[in-house]
Structure 1
């Protein structure tokens, strides 16, 4: 089998999402995806990667992954080069699954569980769906697309939101009420009044549902170390499940200081590219839970290596997903295949909302758990309606005739 063409697709409405389709001489097509900076990633795929991939055997996934990330400008980051490699890598695994007639999770080692616990990231329908991603600015609260405007809910009545999630069997939720303060103060300080306002959702959740709900705290790398320590101390009485990305992920030493100062586990990080920075974090005891975004860190090939690395340090694995539908599906395959997966991120406003406008199949979420995807490869495809959209842009690189 040979790769005969590389096709990229993006839309104006979902402008952060880029899909990659790998065409082969056997008629099989592999589907991949990445998120954010779609136009720049598209350019890198066609201008830099295409010449290295066209005509190659797509079943040599490890070799092709290494080809893509060994470029001088692609060195352990989540920049354009790694996001491009991630999308192509996911498409390679989808192709391999279609060739063998197996779901991707089987190719990665098989199921480790029959159902997988999920948590709900409390985003709304418009959250980071389009345009530049900035704290607060892209929350897009106020959509009337459906019943799960969970971002507005956690900022106004988090207790009622927790009760709603429990009614559907979801027993873990992620919120980020400290972001507006960080945005206002550049992450440099937080007053007593601001602290009280940010802690209000935790008060409401515990008052309404007690300890029935696990609460993850996302901090988006917005704080300096002293303020992150102060916030962690304030959160301890509420029994937070984890604190995620409290400071910028460029100092294992600083993150280790934070980890040693609090009883709340540290989760890191969707912002890390490749397994190498994870090793630095793990060596220093800076992170307790390895979070990975497969669309940014090198795809399924690198994701499973990070999971295995974390396992050697007796740390759990928790894939990130607050991006696009194909990335969500890929994360599920990876999560089911890794023995140290703790929990899988999901966004009910996404998988019951705009994801359904784009792909044929999504994971079944039932009673707070995901079920394995069925069918060969990833088990999902872009809907025919995607190819008919008036805002669709397509670019294709092909083997010379």
Structure 2
């Protein structure tokens, strides 16, 4: 079997309301799916490449013009070899950023193919630890005409739905590290107002479920320490991306001075950067984004290193059913997997282009189906309603 080419799908969806976080405001979701074709028309793989913050055309150009020629004619059942081939042949202007995100999409699709050829679900090929995973609802953005009562109501809905936790945004301060250039970000709050939001969420969630707070790489270490002090009092499960990932020393100092575990960094790429964060003691919940970090091949190595350091592993899951499938298959294979993130904000891409559900959810626990590969059954006709030209 040989790879014959790749196909990209650029997706756009306008949400019914805008979401604000410390780095800006957006009302449109965007995503790039990758389909790797083989000379067997019945065997193909789906992947997704993160394209946050850039136009579709940059991602599709890298995928189609630069990476596709490196894999056409190759055996799709060798994801480790093809990952390394792409990484080394693009070394001089790759290694991080957009190229790793694009490589993620191809890598996930290759693992999907391998599972289909083997007739096994991917989680089993990746190790098959196969223990149920707790799920938390991920939302809690700043929104217009959205006060503490509305936030508390949404947290209460997540609790009633059976989720074992809830994650919310924090850090939309005038003193955010990027505020001088992202000064038009709306809905800035004071530190005291932000803590009141966290307190309202905690009260709505109750004392027995987990509350997580995500600052989206927006704080300096000193401000993050002030948040962590309050989070200890309130009872927060983890403090996600408090600083920028480059600020390893500041984040490590924060981690040493608080009992709140530090989670991160979904915005970081490659195993070497994650090893540096772990070695410095900067993170205790290791949390890459599978569709950005370099795919399943890279993420599983990061997870293995985290296990060696007795750290738990999670993964960002805030896009389409394809990234969701990659995330759940990886987590379900690992002995040190932590929570599974369930995007709770408006999106049709979690279920509406699937012919059958991807996972079961019962009493806050998720388990994937036992279908080959990623377990996806995509209806391309349904998908087409969100496809746009790059």
TM-score under structure 2 normalisation? 0.86
Check if 1:3 corresponds to 2:3: yes
Check if 1:314 corresponds to 2:291: no
Deviation at 1:253, TM superposition (A): 1.4
Aligned to 1:118: 135
Q: Point out the structure with the larger strand share.
A: 2
Among 149, 164, 167, the alignment partner of 1:171 is 164
1:214-225 alignment runs, 5 A limit: 214-225=210-221
Among 37, 54, 70, the alignment partner of 1:23 is 37
Q: Distance in 1 between matches of 2:173 and 2:320?
A: 25
Check if 1:305 corresponds to 2:324: no
Residue segments in structure 2 that go unaligned for 5+ positions in a row? 14-27, 182-188
Deviation at 1:195, TM superposition (A): 1.9
Number of equivalenced pairs = 363
Say if 2:361 and 2:367, in contact at 8 Å, map to a contact too: yes
Q: Distance in 2 between matches of 1:236 and 1:15?
A: 34
Say if 1:76 and 1:277, in contact at 8 Å, map to a contact too: no
Give the stretch that moved more between structures: 96-105 or 364-373. Answer: 364-373
Q: Distance in 2 between matches of 1:48 and 1:195?
A: 45
Q: Distance in 2 between matches of 1:72 and 1:90?
A: 20
Q: Distance in 2 between matches of 1:294 and 1:88?
A: 12
Say if 1:157 and 1:204, in contact at 8 Å, map to a contact too: no
Aligned residue for 1:216, secondary structure, equals strand
Q: Distance in 2 between matches of 1:387 and 1:233?
A: 45
Aligned residue for 2:91, secondary structure, equals coil
Deviation at 1:73, TM superposition (A): 4.2
Aligned residue for 2:269, secondary structure, equals coil
Deviation at 1:350, TM superposition (A): 5.2
Residue segments in structure 1 that go unaligned for 5+ positions in a row? 125-135, 143-151, 395-401
Change over 3 Å in CA distance of 1:389–1:214 after alignment to 2? closer
Aligned to 1:398: none
Aligned to 1:358: 353
Give the stretch that moved more between structures: 250-259 or 307-316. Answer: 250-259
Change over 3 Å in CA distance of 1:93–1:307 after alignment to 2? same
Aligned residue for 1:174, secondary structure, equals strand
Say if 1:187 and 1:222, in contact at 8 Å, map to a contact too: no
Aligned to 2:234: 238
Q: Distance in 1 between matches of 2:383 and 2:319?
A: 20
Give deviations 1:275-302, integer Å, cap 9, x for gaps: 1111111111111110011000111111
TM-score under structure 1 normalisation? 0.84
Say if 2:320 and 2:349, in contact at 8 Å, map to a contact too: no
Aligned to 1:63: 81
Say if 1:386 and 1:392, in contact at 8 Å, map to a contact too: no
Q: Distance in 2 between matches of 1:344 and 1:326?
A: 15
Please provide the CA RMSD for this pair.
Answer: 2.5
